[in-house]
Amino acid sequence: MSASNLPACPTELSSLEINYAACIHRDGNLLFLGSSIDGLMVVDITDPVNPVILDSVGMRSPQSIDTHAGLAYVSNLWTGLSIVDYSNPHELATLSTTELPYWHCGQVSYRHGFVYIVVDTEGVAILDVADPYAPQFAHLVPESPNITDATVHEDHLYVLDAGIHLYSLTDPDGPIQLDNEPYPICGSSIEGGTDLLCSYNFWGQVCMSLIQDPVHPVPYAGFEISSRVQDVSFGHELFAAVSDDQWELVPLGVAEETRTGARIPMDHGRSILLDDGLLFVTDLHALHVYDVSCDLAPLAWFAISPSSFEYGDTCTLDAGSSSDLESADSLIQVRWDLDNDGVHDTEWSTERVLTTRFDTIGDTLATLQVRSANGATSTCTRRLPVGANPAIELVITPEEGTTATTFTFDASGTMDPDDPERELRFYWYFNYPEGPDGPDSLDVVTHRFTEPGDYPLRLRVFDAENRYSSVTDTIHVEPLTVTRPV
């Protein structure tokens, strides 16, 4: 993509009077705005030239919005989390408001029945929202006084303090911290979108990383925009930011010396959202809708299912999320290079899901090439960890005992079939689901149980690719019987 692809002046389609909307979220043809005066508002954008307010519900200082299955999850600056039913967008209904013991609640994200809210500088509050009428506080991670921001993207939580810390959200027992490589950091705020992560600051410094593999981020772009940044939004091709007195659009994927963008003056900009060729931006008094569609290269991206797999197993490579602003989905074509040798293993096809298997242990690079209706192409290369889960061998000595017994748990026979010399991480749960006591690099540990009973034991072992295996057992502990001499 060249800088000339970017229109010199995006076209404003409409302006809708809305007071001080500090956050924006889109779900299909519905746009959600959080206003400190009007609360949560739902706007029909089926026709972006004529947006229509459908309904609003009062709440105090909305800060962030996420949606799932007809429910809106809204963080409020002072009161915590509100859950609103918008299954009928003409008649919003607040199901619950959960107060949290924190001074400031910020970015909110929903994943797998849980809501994640950035709170103060404390960390991320996690709430179980399986019952939207009665959310339950589940965890606070990490418990650190230095957190400045956090974001959730797909199945990972990214937490920013002096660095970016990565957590997996796939374990039902709670987030598990992963050993990620360092991310480039430009500031105290982060945002996730598509397969990119952005770190930025108030003064306009921006660092972007490609997170196709979150453990191994790849620098994507770094540049400066205007200062006094309030909010950002981005995709592979374009980056948008709003500040106090303007919003600006920056093309990505071009050399910095040729990068030119568009800047539009505005009155006290607040929030911005770039989505599917449209840009939504708010100031003190209105929502503005712009057409920013350009003749850009298509977005190339594919999902891997399962995310890690053993050699010989089948896996699915799904390029269904690849898209192009100017092409109908039915006209987008793909082809695959399954060993990244520069020779494509499939022909061009509109079928975007490929089932295949890899018969060699080790990391494999697979490349997807996407072609739009007008012939523009893009590629995406992802690392596929082809391997095996750790093989656990656990010996418990003795098998049962009393409250005076010191039990030995020996997992020293555990190995990583991919590389027997590679270090493993051991998580010991001596009264599951309490714990874990770790992560502990020790494969042999001892433990005493102070009360009699049956204790559920679980051991989880992770390898360097964060594949894991687990074993369970039950430890029977009798009370200590003291025999007095006759």
- One-character DSSP codes across 121-165: TTEEEEEE-SSTTS-EEEEEES--TT--EEEEETTEEEEESSSEE
**Contact yes or no for 126/141 (Cβ under 8 A):** yes
pLDDT tens digits, residue range 98-147?
988 877 888 899 998 999 998 876 788 999 999 999 999 998 887 666 78
Phi then psi for residue 274, to 5 deg, are -110, 120
180 in a domain, yes or no? yes
Long-range contacts of 243-247 (CB under 8 A, 24+ apart): 243/204, 243/269, 244/268, 244/269, 245/269, 247/272, 247/279, 247/281
Res. 5 pLDDT band, cuts 50 70 90: very low
Residue 270 identity (one-letter amino acid) = R
DSSP summary character for residue 257 = G
- Same-domain status, 467 and 332: no
Contacts of 412 (CB under 8 A, 6+ apart): 393, 443, 444
Cβ neighbour number for residue 178 with a 10 Å cutoff = 17
Q: Which of 86-95, 171-180, 218-227, 289-298 has the lowest mean pLDDT?
A: 289-298
User: How far apart are the two ends of the chain, measured CA to CA in Å?
Assistant: 93
**Tens of pLDDT, residues 351-386:** 999 999 887 777 788 999 999 887 878 888 888 877
User: 24 Cβ partners below 8 Å, 6+ apart?
Assistant: 31, 32, 33, 34, 65, 271, 272, 273, 280, 282
Give pLDDT, residue 261. 61
Lowest-pLDDT range, 68-82, 125-139, 308-322?
A: 308-322
**Residue 434, burial from CB neighbour count under 10 angstroms (0-12, 13-18, 19+):** exposed
Q: Tell me whether residue 1 is in a domain.
A: no
pLDDT in tens, 136-169: 999 888 766 678 888 988 889 998 887 888 999 9
Q: Report the CATH number at residue 316.
A: 2.60.40.10
The Cα 325–Cα 376 span in angstroms is 12
Kindly report the backbone phi and psi dihedral angles of residue 127, in degrees, each rounded to the nearest multiple of 5, phi listed first: -120, 135
Q: Give residue 1's pLDDT.
A: 30
Range of the domain at 149: 10-291
Quick one: 354 and 438 in the same domain?
A: no
Average pLDDT score, the chain: 85
- Check residue 39 and give its pLDDT: 93
d(CA 154, CA 160): 17
Instruction: For residue 93, tell me if it sits in a domain.
Output: yes
Please give the DSSP secondary-structure letter assigned to residue 261.
Answer: -
| Residue 178: partners with Cβ closer than 8 Å, 6 or more residues away | 156, 166, 167, 168, 214, 215, 466
Question: Distance between CA 73 and CA 274 in Å, rounded?
Answer: 20
Cα 297 to Cα 301: distance, rounded to the nearest angstrom = 13
Contact (CB, 8 A) for 348 and 331: no
Q: Find, among 133, 126, 231, the residue nearest to 173 by Cα.
A: 126
Query: Do 429 and 365 fall into the same domain?
Result: no
> Domain containing 136 — which CATH number?
2.130.10.10
Q: List the one residue out of 345, 440, 449, 434 whose CA is nearest residue 396.
A: 449
Same domain, 339 and 376: yes
Measured CA to CA, the distance from residue 469 to residue 116 in angstroms comes to 26
Backbone angles phi, psi at 350, to 5 degrees: -85, -5
268 and 130 inside one domain: yes
98 with 201, same domain? yes
Enumerate the β-bridge partners of residue 382: 366
Strands in 309-310's sheet, in edge-to-edge order, are 309-310, 377-387, 362-371, 333-337
What is the number of alpha carbons within 13 Å of residue 245 lying toward its C-beta?
3
* Eight-state DSSP code of residue 7: -
In a domain, 425, yes or no: yes
Domain end point (choices 326, 354, 387): 387
Long-range residue pairs from 398-401, CB within 8 A, at least 24 positions apart, any chain: 400/475, 400/476, 400/477, 400/478, 401/477, 401/478
Lowest mean pLDDT among 84-88, 243-247, 280-284, 471-475: 243-247
pLDDT at 257: 42
Same domain for 228 and 247, yes or no, is yes
Of the candidates 387, 417, 451, which is a domain's last residue?
387
The share of the chain scoring above pLDDT 90, in percent, equals 41
Question: What is the CA 252 to chain-centroid distance, rounded?
Answer: 21
Residue 334: inside a domain, yes or no?
A: yes
Domain membership flag for residue 486: no
Is the pLDDT at 37 greater than 80, yes or no?
yes
- 140 and 209 housed in the same domain: yes
> Mean pLDDT, to the nearest integer, of 54-58?
95
* Integer Cα distance of 106 and 117 in angstroms: 6
Tell me if 326 is assigned to some domain: yes
448, 467, 477, 479, 480 from 404: Cα distances, Å = 7, 36, 9, 8, 6
Last residue of a domain, one of 354, 387, 420: 387
pLDDT band (50, 70, 90) for residue 438: low
| List of residues 6+ apart from 415 with CB closer than 8 A | 390, 391, 393, 424
Q: What mean pLDDT is predicted for residues 158-187?
A: 85
What is the dihedral sign for C-alpha 320, 130, 169, 166? positive
Give the number of C-alpha atoms closer than 13 A to the C-alpha of residue 278, restricted to the C-beta side: 19
Taking the C-alpha atoms of residue 165 and residue 182, their distance in angstroms, rounded to an integer, is: 9
Q: Is the pLDDT of residue 245 over 70?
A: yes
Distance from C-alpha of 480 to C-alpha of 39, rounded to nearest angstrom: 62
- Rounded to 5 degrees, φ, ψ at 5 are -65, -20
Q: Are residues 274 and 309 in the same domain?
A: no
- Give the total number of structural domains in the chain: 3
Q: Is residue 485 part of a domain?
A: no
126 and 240, same structural domain?
A: yes
Task: Give me the pLDDT at residue 145, please.
Answer: 64
